[in-house]
Amino acid sequence: MSAFCVRGLAGHGLLRWLSAVLLLVAVIAPAAAEPITVMLDQARIIKIPDRAATVVVGNPLIADLSIQPGGIAVVTGKGYGATNFIVMDRDGAVLLDKTVEVKFPSDKIVVVYHGINRETYSCTPECSRRLTLGDFPEFFEKTLAETVSRNTQAVGAAATSAH
């Protein structure tokens, strides 16, 4: 019986030691483990090392990153999912390696389902069609065509008024 108690006490000591080590690792672990979260179709400004010269984006269909002066970068959510980016200096040394998670937009939206077909509306405050990945192709394409047409007309009007 006493052998059992000794092993039990030794086990508790090991457990305490392991708990202390895990706590220390959690406290000392770099913040690099936390992903950068950005909403679809939105941008987020992050701080990067000043020596940054090159950026490699794992999947540019999910997120994009552009370096700005002064150690600033802009991360833009392009598609749902997760990817990573690597920032390197001129010599190719890795300065930063981060995961980016792109999530569904947080603005006020209404999603309408017709069977398996989905339509998304932005309701800020009136509800209007919104281009959202995963919407029914006919709805998405019609909304995209309307948006492109409107933007083309706006650019044309601005060019005409500038002359």
Domain chopping of the chain, boundaries: 1-30, 34-103, 109-162
For residue 82, the model assigns a pLDDT of 97
> In the chain, what percentage of residues exceed pLDDT 70?
80
Read off the pLDDT of each residue in 33-61 and give the average, rounded to a whole number: 92
Instruction: Compute the distance between CA of residue 59 and CA of residue 107 in angstroms, rounded to an integer.
Output: 25
Higher pLDDT, 136 or 20: 136
Mean pLDDT for all residues in the chain: 84
Two tokens at 83?
A: 């990817």
| pLDDT of res. 19 | 63
Contact indicator for 44, 74 with CB cutoff of 8 Å: yes
Q: Residue 3 pLDDT more than 60?
A: no
The whole-model pTM stands at: 0.64
Residue 13 pLDDT grade (very low, low, confident, very high; cuts 50, 70, 90): low
The CA-CA-CA angle for residues 14, 24, 95, to 5°, reads 140
Give me the mean pLDDT over the 16-44 stretch.
69
* pLDDT at res. 1: 44
One of 2.60.40.1080, 3.40.50.1100, 3.30.70.20, 3.30.565.10 is the CATH number of 34-103, namely 2.60.40.1080
